[in-house]
Amino acid sequence: MLKVTPPAGKSDVRLDSPVQVKVTDGTLKNVEVVSADGHELKGSMNAEVGYWRSSSILRSQSTYTVTVTMEDVSGETSSKTSSFTTLTPDSMATATITPGDNWTVGVGMPIVVDFSDSVADDNRQEVEKALTVTTVPRTKGAWRWMSNSQIMWRPAKFWKAGTKVSVETDLPGVELASGVWGKRTTTSQFRIGSEVISTVDVNAHHLVIRKNGSVLRTIPVTTGMPGYLTRNGTKVIMSRDSKVRMDAASTGVSEDDPEYYNLMVDWAMRLTNSGEFIHAAPWSVGSHGVANVSHGCTGMSDENAQWLFNQSKVGDVVVYKNSPRELEFGNGYTVWDKSFADWSSGD
């Protein structure tokens, strides 16, 4: 007796469905599962019990033919075939990994995976199983969903400098939401650079930058004035640009507001989604180290800003203290503003 799953003529077969062959009252000799375009499905056979099972993922919109060769109790060999057709997805989703290939990043950098389609709550566990983080040396860490299309992984504590990291999102055959299936496997390999941690004291109006634990420089700064207070908390440099245009309209300030601005700034490093940067602010040099007069950014002289920019990289840590305004979770790479226990538990 021969049983093939999916059965002959079956349509709309899920991509994560295994192909199984079971022979009783005979010996299973060989199994081939091949799509119309020549894709051969891999699998493993246990001839002693007459069983074969696929070990690779089905392709969408494909008709597969199963060819089974077996030997009956009299020693006669025969072959039988059957076919089935896989489903047509409503959408095929991809993933983007940050940091990208060959990046060197700071010790505070999380791994960020952005999906092109939303991931349903009921599918998140299966999607997580398709995400792999491999590190040398071995590093404890955990994933956490930040939205329905983004997940982040952080170590239990800051990365060790020199760590090598490999990330894989093996999405083929994974259903992200009803009718939405993964399209391809994406990988990234990057490394952790030197430990660079800056501390900004909002009340004292200065920034202290340390590299591998040693103080490199103390820089006079200005931060946010009343009504535009700079946020307290542990931030991570998200991007670096030697020049960037800052338009207050992007933060909800209208052009007829006296506090409206639209200007190019130099040596800008983003810290929050809401628009906090470290950058050169030559127009307020008289307030550096003395008073807080910005709209929330951390300003300093051209010379200090360029020097700091050259010392810094994406993923470096910037700790802000002595501000009454707290950093909102999710406003940037805020992975360090929760304990690892709370992070990994989802609290």
Q: Identify residue 91 by its one-letter amino acid code.
A: S
**Contact residues for 283 (Cβ-Cβ < 8 A; gap 6+):** none
From residue 247, give the alpha-carbon distance in Å to each of 254, 318, 323: 10, 23, 24
Model confidence at 27, pLDDT cuts 50, 70, 90, reads: very high
Percent share of the chain, pLDDT over 90: 91
Sign of CA dihedral 67, 68, 69, 73: negative
pLDDT value for 18: 97
User: Are the C-beta atoms of 292 and 205 separated by less than 8 Å?
Assistant: yes
The CATH code for residues 196-334 is 2.40.440.10
Q: Evaluate whether 2-85 and 196-334 have a shared fold.
A: no
Q: C-alpha angle with apex 235: 232 to 240, nearest 5 degrees?
A: 130
Closest C-alpha among 47, 49, 52, 45 to residue 19: 52
From residue 177, give the alpha-carbon distance in Å to each of 3, 28, 93, 132, 146: 31, 38, 10, 20, 17
User: Are the C-beta atoms of 242 and 266 separated by less than 8 Å?
Assistant: yes
Sign of CA dihedral 97, 102, 105, 108: positive
Tens digits of residue pLDDT in 199-226: 999 999 999 999 999 999 999 999 999 9
CATH class of 91-193: mainly beta
**Contact residues for 40 (Cβ-Cβ < 8 A; gap 6+):** 32, 33, 34
pLDDT value for 338: 96
Give the 3-state secondary structure of residue 255: coil
- Catalytic residue flag (residue 279): yes
pLDDT value for 221: 98
**Contact residues for 262 (Cβ-Cβ < 8 A; gap 6+):** 245, 246, 247, 248, 249
Count of C-beta atoms within a 10 Å radius of residue 133: 15
User: Are the C-beta atoms of 93 and 50 separated by less than 8 Å?
Assistant: no
Model confidence at 73, pLDDT cuts 50, 70, 90, reads: confident
Query: For the chain, which residues make up each domain, given as ranges?
Result: 2-85, 91-193, 196-334
pLDDT value for 315: 98
Which of 51-65, 95-109, 249-263 comes out lowest in average pLDDT?
249-263
Closest C-alpha among 75, 25, 72, 33 to residue 52: 33
Residue 294 has pLDDT above 80, yes or no: yes
Q: Identify residue 266 by its one-letter amino acid code.
A: D
From the candidates 205, 288, 295, 297, which is the catalytic residue? 297
**What is the mean predicted confidence (pLDDT) over 130-144?**
98
pLDDT value for 160: 98
* CATH number of 2-85, picked from 3.40.50.300, 2.60.40.3780, 3.30.450.20, 3.20.20.150: 2.60.40.3780
pLDDT value for 37: 95
pLDDT value for 246: 81
Q: C-alpha angle with apex 159: 157 to 164, nearest 5 degrees?
A: 145
Between CA 260 and CA 268 the distance in angstroms is: 19
Between CA 196 and CA 213 the distance in angstroms is: 8
If you search the block for the tokens 């010790």, which residue do you land on? 107
Which of 181-185, 220-224, 262-266 comes out lowest in average pLDDT?
262-266
Percent share of the chain, pLDDT over 70: 99
Highest mean pLDDT: which range of 30-34, 44-48, 241-245: 30-34
pLDDT value for 256: 77
Cis peptide before 6 (omega within 30 of 0): yes
From the candidates 205, 206, 279, 288, which is the catalytic residue? 279
Alpha helices in the chain (DSSP H): 124-129, 302-311, 340-345
